[in-house]
A and B are shown apart, each in its own frame.
Chain A
Amino acid sequence: MLALSNLHAEGDGFVPPSTNDFNLPPISESISWLTKPVLLVFLSVILVSVFFVLSSRKAAVVPSKLQFAGESIYAFVRNDLARDVIGHDFMRFVPYLFTLFTFVLTNNIFGIVPFLQFPAMSHVGFPYVLAVFTFVVFHYVGIRKQGLGKYLKEIAFMPGVPKPVYILLTPIELATFFLVRPLTLSLRLFANMFAGHLLLLVFIMGGDYMMHDSHLIMKLFSPFSFAFGIALTFFEFMVQCLQAYIFTLLTALYIAGALADEH
């Protein structure tokens, strides 16, 4: 892998896509931080804002087509995620969950949108940020609800468990709440997007390589590689939606857990 990633000269055989394919150079060399994923994230903010502001601006009892489209997504997050998971007092968290879902979904889908074709969430910095937000939100909610001492005590010493079990359980619970949850939340999203994009790269670049190869058999098999790449694109779309859903769902679950009287 290491050796291959350094070999970019043409004609040396197929160079499989590597992690370096995710390190896109800055758009302009003078602004080193302005890379493609950064631009895409800003684009997603603009697109999501414009779409939902337009669709909700004249929200009426009888919705227009645009309102219906925006409203359906909003109602999905509001009812199926926030209300059904958090239950009572869920309205407080709807704006956060709604932003989370639309933000992640849009940036994920960028991975298969022609010309954009890069899932911003495959850059681990963005999922980290989102996981930190969720981390802060659900701990804050729990501390506000039960007080810092009681909240920590409930996490560390789960009630209704025989005392000796705490030797095992307490470290596990503490690790779950303060380490595992944010890490899995961000890494799951990152890894899915990263792997998905890599997979697409393999088949599309592989097809391209085979098409330009001198061997006839390679040329003949090249369309299959492309076809598989296209099929995987549909699969990726599913994964992208699913990951946005899971991220939001888990956030809602963590909030619900912090709000519950007992874990």
Chain B
Amino acid sequence: MRSINLLAEGEAANPLIPHTAELVVGTIAFTLLFLVLRKAVVPMFEKAFTARTEAIEGGIERAEKAQLEAQRALVQYNEQLSSAQGEASKLREEARIQGAAILEELRTKAQEEAARITATAHASIEAERQQAITSLRNEVGALAVELASKIVGEALDDQARQSRIVERFIEDLEKSK
């Protein structure tokens, strides 16, 4: 091996002098590789890069749209909520006022009724009392006259006298009480 090497060289080779074969081979090899990479590799990677960029941009766009929609829904929901709350408080207020009015009305009515009932009761009691007094007076008078005439034995048919006697009798009754 060594001897072949030395024979081929003759003298010490200058490493800065290129071999012609290597210049040719280098040119061919590099050109070949360049053509392959340019034709088959670069376009494929570029395609993937473009697709990726688009996918990312599309994703961002979709996300933005979804966010916008969510925000809109939130605003709408908040509006609905606040209007519902307002309505509810209004209703509550109305109900409170109405309730108070009803209560007041009922109380007045009840008081009136009570007063009326009391008055009626008073009147009927009074009437009954009067009636009782009158009938009592008549009966007691008749009884007393009958009793007295029975006892005294004299007929007291004279109206005026009769009533005078009854009066006196009652007065005596009241005095003896």
Seen from chain A, the residues whose Cβ lies within 8 Å of a Cβ on chain B are: 1-2, 5-6, 8, 18-20, 22-25, 29, 32-33, 35, 37-38, 41-42, 44-45, 48-49, 52-53, 56-57, 59-61, 63, 67, 70-71, 74-75, 78, 91, 94-96, 98-99, 102-103, 123-126, 128-130, 133, 187, 190, 194
**CB <8 Å contact, A194 and B37:** no
Known contacts A52-B41, A99-B37: A19-B12 contact under CB 8 Å = yes
Q: Which interface class (under 10, 10 to 19, 20 to 34, 35 or more) fits B?
A: 35 or more
Would you mind naming 17 contact pairs between A and B with Cβ atoms under 8 Å apart?
Answer: A2-B12, A6-B6, A8-B6, A18-B12, A20-B6, A23-B9, A25-B1, A25-B4, A32-B21, A53-B36, A60-B51, A70-B41, A75-B45, A78-B45, A98-B42, A99-B34, A130-B30
A99 to B31 CA separation, bound complex (whole angstroms): 9
Q: Decide yes or no whether B2 CB sits under 8 A from chain A.
A: yes
10 A-B pairs with least C-beta separation: A125-B22, A125-B18, A33-B21, A129-B26, A59-B48, A95-B38, A56-B44, A99-B34, A52-B41, A126-B26
A234 to B42 CA separation, bound complex (whole angstroms): 31
The residue on A at minimum CB distance from B21 is: A33
**CB <8 Å contact, B47 and A19:** no
Known contacts A25-B8, A45-B32, A129-B30: A123-B45 contact under CB 8 Å = no
What is the minimal beta-carbon distance from B128 to any residue of chain A, in angstroms? 108
Residues of A within 8 A of B4 (CB): 25, 29
The residue on A at minimum CB distance from B11 is: A2
Residues of B within 8 A of A190 (CB): 15-16
A63 to B6 CA separation, bound complex (whole angstroms): 53
**CB <8 Å contact, B21 and A38:** yes
A124 to B15 CA separation, bound complex (whole angstroms): 7
A2 to B9 CA separation, bound complex (whole angstroms): 13
Residues of B within 8 A of A33 (CB): 19, 21, 25
The count of A-to-B residue pairs whose CB atoms sit within 8 angstroms is 143
Contact of A20 among B12, B21, B36, B45 (CB under 8 A): B12
**CB <8 Å contact, B13 and A102:** no
Name 17 extra pairs, CB < 8 A, besides A23-B13, A41-B26, A57-B40.
Answer: A8-B6, A35-B19, A38-B22, A48-B33, A61-B48, A63-B48, A74-B42, A74-B45, A95-B38, A98-B42, A99-B37, A102-B37, A123-B18, A123-B19, A125-B26, A128-B26, A190-B15
Residues of A within 8 A of B29 (CB): 41-42, 44-45, 103
Q: Decide yes or no whether B152 CB sits under 8 A from chain A.
A: no
Known contacts A23-B8, A23-B9, A38-B25: A124-B30 contact under CB 8 Å = no
A103 to B27 CA separation, bound complex (whole angstroms): 12
Q: Decide yes or no whether B5 CB sits under 8 A from chain A.
A: yes
What is the minimal beta-carbon distance from B90 to any residue of chain A, in angstroms? 57
